[in-house]
Amino acid sequence: MGFEEADTMPQSSLPTVPQYAASVANYCASRHPDAEGALVISVVPESPADDLGIEPGMRVLSVNGHELTDMIVWLWETDDLEADLEVFDPRDNTVARATIERFPGEEWGVEFDGAVFDGMRTCVNACIFCFMNMLPKESRDSLSIRDDDYRLSFLQGNFVTLTNMSDAEVDDAIGKMLSPMNVSLHAINPECRRKLIGRNAPRGIEVLERFLDAGIEIHAQIVLCPGINDGDELLATLEYVEQHPGITSLAIVPLGFTKHQKRFTTSYSDDVEGSRAVVKLLEPFQERARATRGCTVFQLADEFYVDAELDVPPAETYDGFPQFYDGIGMLRSFLDEVEELRCSHMDDVERVGEYLSQRDASVIVVCGEAAQRTFDAFCALFSSNAQVLTQAIKNEYFGGNVNVTGLICACDLLAQLPEDLSSAIVLIPEVIYNYDGLTLDGETREFVERSLAARGACVKTCVSSPYKMLDELGE
């Protein structure tokens, strides 16, 4: 053990909730009171962490005298060749201090449990379109955590409103140049913003502008709600973005609503003309951005093109897909992969098709209603002998206008697939499961696969990429 001294762990380990300037609403920290510092979950053998005697289960409490509250502190403080650590060992309830050292280019060799260690910052907003307020009553608790943590915006790309940041946190983020950040903008007009996200809305713009002035790059997002922040309000927001080149991409996603609320009954999903009007409104901004900045900047979610019954734009207009995981360009990327398979890998497709025919297997490619036409393009690669067909699952669990693949629930999947699945291969998109292998209605992947196997299905689960899907079918 490379530690030099040991103290008994102080027992008063209640979380410290930061104090804020008067203009900033407080937020809740979801930290567990017994959990100080960062929990070590793995250590690479013969790494600097291993050499020092750090083991899984220990907690790193501080680095260079700074409390280890998140991975930003870790990355910032351990950027050099050595750092002073305080480590808690739960086996004998002691805290030891030591200096960890490494060679240039060497990794520290320690992995922590998560990215923030002092509790997720939760939001202080009351967004009228908040999906958390539209969940069925029986939804599991973890689904309704309203995280709004600027640190996760930088570390993981989560969208945040910035409304809960204190001046000290803003200064710290600027001092460390946490860039880029993903920010929910929604509207620029103060009245409209207040209507959309509540009384803390002004703080979000104040912080956003400080970030922009400091040179922090912003990826912004708008949830477009018909009759609220569209039309002239949207125009004003687009003009604001146009005047702020530090906002390098803007994603506009349509309002989604479930049947478990009363405020919304309609959105772009049942308004072809309304969706086309949004596509049209964006065009001059996109053209100007391409002419002056060499990139499109203003992007619409795939759903808008589906709702507008228009083809999704070509890949080169997506600027390298900076907001892919926000549903911007996923359909284009899928269609282009299908095209690549058609042009360059038809021998592989035919081989898989032949294999399926020999097995006398039919293939059911599961997807959400919004993506069915796109997934059909993959199925069309196969000759009719192979029987590869999509099945769009209607989302009854959430209801409303929820129709995307990522929100398919186990109850709908199991209710809508045929009872008799003998000789069927069911290809399930991996995105319906979370990191823990749970669907949104709380069923395990194992349960889903077992239930379908009991009906005779051969179940395969993979990411929604035509290459991966083809590989999966050929195995």
Residues that bind ligand SF4 (CB under 6 A): 123, 125-127, 130, 132, 146, 148, 161, 197
CB of 388 to ligand SF4, least distance (A): 38
Report the residue number, 221 or 372, with the smaller CB distance to ligand SF4. 221
What is the Cα–Cα distance from 247 to 184, expressed in whole angstroms?
Answer: 12
CB of 407 to ligand SF4, least distance (A): 16
The β-bridge relationship of strands 218-224 and 247-254 is parallel
For the chain, what is the total number of helices (H) and then of strands (E)?
A: 15, 15
Report the residue number, 127 or 428, with the smaller CB distance to ligand SF4. 127
Report the residue number, 126 or 168, with the smaller CB distance to ligand SF4. 126
CB of 23 to ligand SF4, least distance (A): 18
What is the Cα–Cα distance from 203 to 164, expressed in whole angstroms?
Answer: 8
Report the residue number, 1 or 132, with the smaller CB distance to ligand SF4. 132
Report the residue number, 216 or 225, with the smaller CB distance to ligand SF4. 225
CB of 38 to ligand SF4, least distance (A): 25
What is the Cα–Cα distance from 115 to 73, expressed in whole angstroms?
Answer: 10
Report the residue number, 123 or 297, with the smaller CB distance to ligand SF4. 123
Report the residue number, 28 or 310, with the smaller CB distance to ligand SF4. 28
Report the residue number, 130 or 315, with the smaller CB distance to ligand SF4. 130
Q: Residue 396: count other Cβ atoms within 10 Å of its Cβ.
A: 13
Taking Cα atoms as reference points, which of 23, 63, 345, 40 lies closest to residue 203? 23
CB of 221 to ligand SF4, least distance (A): 11
What is the Cα–Cα distance from 331 to 304, expressed in whole angstroms?
Answer: 11
CB of 18 to ligand SF4, least distance (A): 19
Residues forming a β-bridge with 348: none
Task: Please give the structure tokens belonging to residue 52.
Answer: 């020092």
What is the Cα–Cα distance from 35 to 60, expressed in whole angstroms?
Answer: 11
What is the number of residues in the chain? 475
Q: Which helix (H) or strand (E) holds 400?
A: none
What is the Cα–Cα distance from 248 to 472, expressed in whole angstroms?
Answer: 37
What is the Cα–Cα distance from 150 to 146, expressed in whole angstroms?
Answer: 13
CB of 255 to ligand SF4, least distance (A): 11
Task: Please give the structure tokens belonging to residue 139.
Answer: 């939804």
CB of 328 to ligand SF4, least distance (A): 18
